[in-house]
Amino acid sequence: MGAVRRTSLGHWGAFEATVENGRLVAAQPWADGGANPQMIGAWPELVYSESRIDRPYVRKSFLQRREGAGGEGRGLEEMVPVDWDTALSLVAGQLQRVYAEHGAASVFGGSYGWSSAGRFHHARTQVRRFLAATGGFTDQVGNYSWGAAHAILPHVLGDAEAVSSAATSWETIAQESDVVVAFGGLNPKNWRVTSGGAGNHHMPRFIAKARRRGVKFIVVSPLASDCPEGVDAAWIAPRPNTDTAIMLALAHQALLEGRADLAFLERYTQGHEAFLAYIRGADDGTPKTIAWASRISGVEEAALLTLWQAIRQGRVMLTASWSLQRADHGEQPFWALIALAAMLGQIGLPGGGFCFGYGSLNGVGASARRGYVPAMEVLSNPVDSSVPVASFVEAFLNPGKEIAFNGRNVVFPDVRLVYWAGGNPFHHAQDLFKLEAAWRRPETVIVHEPWWTPTARRADIVLPATTSAERNDIGGSSRDPFVFAMPKLIEPVGEARDDFLIFRDLADRLGRQTVFDEGLDENGWLRRLWSKTEARGEREGIEVPSFDAFWDAGFWAVPEPEAPEVLFDAFRRDPDANPLKTPSGRIELFSRTIAGFGYADCPPHPAWLEPQEWLGVAQDGELHLVTNQPEKRLHSQLYQTRRKNAPETVEINGRDADARGIREGDLVRLWNDRGACLAVAHLGGHVGPGVLVMPTGAWFEPDRQHDWLESNGNPNVLTADRRTSALGQACAALSALVRVEPYRPAVR
């Protein structure tokens, strides 16, 4: 049998797969797509990794004693191979038991959305649909990427589209902007990935186009690597978590110099009087001056004044990376950025105003017509039970505890069974040793997973799932101008089955198959999903190919929108005819709704609130840890293709390294009162003093010979299981202080 080439899709881009004799032998980026060849080329190694789970497994003591085994042995005991019928009978029996004895809220549906670029075989959707069909479950709300923004933006802008899907196009920025100020940076490595995949990695091209036209770039970040390649960007390196203070000071300077667009504030915003009073210092006696921000941020006054002069005139685009809001009081930098943009009066103008996430994801700012990638349908959850996504560890440990969350109270359920399909919580969560303790509490843990991830190794029942190369699907992103057919490239490895087939079998055993699958198989569902795309095209006058024509072609290039997107352009043209969904219909710089909540950690206007952990309160020897995405991985995905045995690297400023006797390439230990991990030191001028930078994504691997020590270099053993505020209850991983020293293991 000769080689067969087919197009498919992953979160790091579209690719051409070569299959010989039923085996995936090569993958390369789709022509002109711009995907990273190393990441794409890892597909065969990913599919045939030694860490693939070949069949169902059950933890030994659980196989013997079921829920009576307790959770202490998770991650330590032998996993025993069983046949599918035995495994599925165990799963069905445990679900029936927990539903009958404890109620549906005691079933926790765990997942995270990066499991597959395919929209049908989307693990988070499938597990939620299954559990809703079989009795209900406790859900997770929000996300780790921009959870604080998801909470604050609806109060300020009426919805969260400015972070989830909408952005002024880079085409417009390249043509119209004079200055782009990127708080949190524009790191090129983040442009390699898009949720749902991408056929067009457009960012490098438009950055280069903007630079040729003379657009000035200013990057405000502790990391020099957050500056785009090939762009002579000005770099301002503040202390981490102090961006809000800088934004407020720039707004104050606009007011001081008469540059503030008071007419814009009057027509397009609500509550600007309270915000202006705050930055003047009317509330606390402290005007938010450049000198004030300099003391907080560690940036010299002259540098901040130079930044002000750069944005004082011309068309200015202000942007913030998603990472800024993953910190204590993470709602504030996004709100402050909006306020600063409102002060400059350019919101809704081509190339001006604000946007979020240009430095976080490839698709942000792409010229794409949204709504043509179909989504798998979910079912209504019969149980009104959910927890903020970043709070699940606290929920496991504290059943019955009540927390405030965005204007309401949430009571943590008594979780007895965890059903996790898609995602690796031992990557996304913080304070991983605390998570490991919490993970022992539920009576039953069931995991679907292709590989022996840290999560799979800590399950009671593991069901081997297929990768997207082993099933048919439709993939794409609303931020990309392509929809892709994802044909089955190879037969499932080992005894792997796709999530849909697993859940359909379980639903049948529980008497709910028709509710779950609605009488459709994989092909029937794919055709049903495509009919949504066809219906959308009919409504909008866009010619959409038939399903068969689309499948044969391998992709469909969605026609571009008639004009490049400009965020809030219609609102600017006529705010009365196009009001926002806020109570006032305007941009809310003071929110009466938030004021009514009475949260001490989230005031009703943008404000500087001191983080619990930052360099302003650091003890002697403590450094601020910044965690970011790996260079050529997606979260913890592709870690199983990594060939080096050494832990992850940690970047450290040369002066900080010298003070601790650390040299380039040294094995070092990072620690605080939450735990410790190993890393390999990398010195240089890419980070400011007082700052350490480590990528997340190493598979969590405790050193069983040394208590509270993680050996692969997973920095989330050091980050705090603490929320942004009572409003967002979101991840605050980027507020963490640590110490570092050369590693000298104790002899036992």
For 38, the domain range is: 4-47
Higher pLDDT, 260 or 112: 260
Q: Do residues 100 and 190 both lie within one domain?
A: no
Q: Do residues 204 and 303 both lie within one domain?
A: yes
Dihedral pair phi/psi, residue 460, rounded to 5°: -90, -40
Q: Do residues 318 and 445 both lie within one domain?
A: no
Question: What is the distance, to the nearest Å, from the Cα of residue 715 to the centroid of all Cα atoms in its chain?
Answer: 16
In this structure, the chain runs to a length of: 748
Q: Do residues 661 and 686 both lie within one domain?
A: yes
In this prediction, residue 115 carries a pLDDT of 76
Is the overall model pTM greater than 0.85, yes or no? yes
Q: Per the domain annotation, does 204 fall within a domain?
A: yes
pLDDT of 417 above 60: yes
Read off the CATH number of the domain in which 593 is found: 3.40.228.10
Q: What is the DSSP string of 350-392?
A: TT-EEEE-TTT-TTTT----TT-S--PPP---SS--EEEGGGH
Q: How far apart are CA 95 and CA 311, in angstroms?
A: 58
* DSSP summary character for residue 561: P
The residue annotated as part of the active site, out of 12, 30, 99, 112, is 112
Reference 716, options 640, 616, 625; nearest CA is 625
pLDDT of 635 above 90: no
User: Is 9 within 8 Å of 475 (Cβ atoms)?
Assistant: yes
Residues 6+ apart with CB under 8 A from 451: 49, 51, 52, 53, 640
Q: Are strands 216-220 and 179-183 parallel, antiparallel or unpaired?
A: parallel
In this prediction, residue 644 carries a pLDDT of 67
pLDDT tens digits, one per residue of 371-393: 999 999 889 999 999 999 999 99
148 pLDDT band, cuts 50/70/90, is very high
Q: Per the domain annotation, does 84 fall within a domain?
A: yes
* Strand-pair partners of 449: 464
Residues 6+ apart with CB under 8 A from 515: 133, 379, 507
Find the mean pLDDT for residues 134-153: 96
CA separation, residue 191 to residues 179, 333, 463, 618 (Å) = 20, 22, 33, 33
Least confident of 94-103, 113-122, 297-306, 700-709: 113-122
Q: Per the domain annotation, does 533 fall within a domain?
A: no
Q: Per the domain annotation, does 418 fall within a domain?
A: yes
User: Is 98 within 8 Å of 414 (Cβ atoms)?
Assistant: no
Write down the H helix ranges in 158-214. 161-164, 170-176, 203-213
pLDDT of 747 above 60: no
Find the mean pLDDT for residues 603-622: 98
Reference 418, options 405, 408, 410, 429; nearest CA is 429
Least confident of 11-15, 47-51, 612-616, 632-636: 632-636
pLDDT tens digits, one per residue of 639-651: 988 766 789 999 9
What mean pLDDT value characterizes the chain? 95
248 pLDDT band, cuts 50/70/90, is very high
Q: How far apart are CA 66 and CA 88, in angstroms?
A: 14
Q: Which of 456, 489, 519 is the last residue of a domain?
A: 519
Q: Per the domain annotation, does 536 fall within a domain?
A: no
Q: Are strands 316-320 and 179-183 parallel, antiparallel or unpaired?
A: parallel
Catalytic residue status for 114:
yes
Q: Per the domain annotation, does 580 fall within a domain?
A: yes
* DSSP summary character for residue 616: G
pLDDT tens digits, one per residue of 494-552: 999 999 999 999 999 999 999 999 999 999 999 999 999 999 999 999 999 999 999 99
- Report the percentage of the chain scoring pLDDT > 90: 87
The residue annotated as part of the active site, out of 114, 525, 556, 699, is 114
Q: Do residues 685 and 731 both lie within one domain?
A: yes
Q: Per the domain annotation, does 378 fall within a domain?
A: no
Q: How many domains does the chain have?
A: 4
Burial of 557 from C-beta contacts in 10 A (0-12 / 13-18 / 19+): exposed
Q: Do residues 339 and 485 both lie within one domain?
A: no
Higher pLDDT, 225 or 746: 225
Q: Per the domain annotation, does 654 fall within a domain?
A: yes
pLDDT of 566 above 80: yes
pLDDT tens digits, one per residue of 170-212: 999 999 999 999 999 998 888 888 888 889 888 888 888 999 9
In this prediction, residue 303 carries a pLDDT of 98
Q: Do residues 72 and 39 both lie within one domain?
A: no
Higher pLDDT, 461 or 746: 461
Catalytic residue status for 308:
no
Q: What is the DSSP string of 500-555?
A: HHHHHHHHHHTT-HHHHHTT--HHHHHHHHHHHHHHHHHHHT-----HHHHHHHSE
Q: Do residues 314 and 395 both lie within one domain?
A: no
Q: How far apart are CA 210 and CA 204, in angstroms?
A: 10
Find the mean pLDDT for residues 411-417: 98
Q: Do residues 322 and 173 both lie within one domain?
A: yes
pLDDT tens digits, one per residue of 269-296: 999 999 999 999 998 999 999 999 999 9
User: H-helix or E-strand containing 728?
Assistant: none
Find the mean pLDDT for residues 665-692: 95
User: Is 407 within 8 Å of 730 (Cβ atoms)?
Assistant: no
1 pLDDT band, cuts 50/70/90, is low
Q: Do residues 89 and 125 both lie within one domain?
A: yes
User: Is 26 within 8 Å of 17 (Cβ atoms)?
Assistant: yes
pLDDT of 748 above 60: no
228 pLDDT band, cuts 50/70/90, is confident
* DSSP summary character for residue 221: S
**Tokens linked to 397:** 């440990």
Q: Do residues 334 and 290 both lie within one domain?
A: yes
Reference 607, options 720, 691, 725, 688; nearest CA is 725
Find the mean pLDDT for residues 69-83: 97
Higher pLDDT, 671 or 685: 671
pLDDT tens digits, one per residue of 302-345: 999 999 999 999 999 999 999 999 999 999 999 999 999 999 99
Q: Do residues 342 and 394 both lie within one domain?
A: no
Find the mean pLDDT for residues 462-468: 98
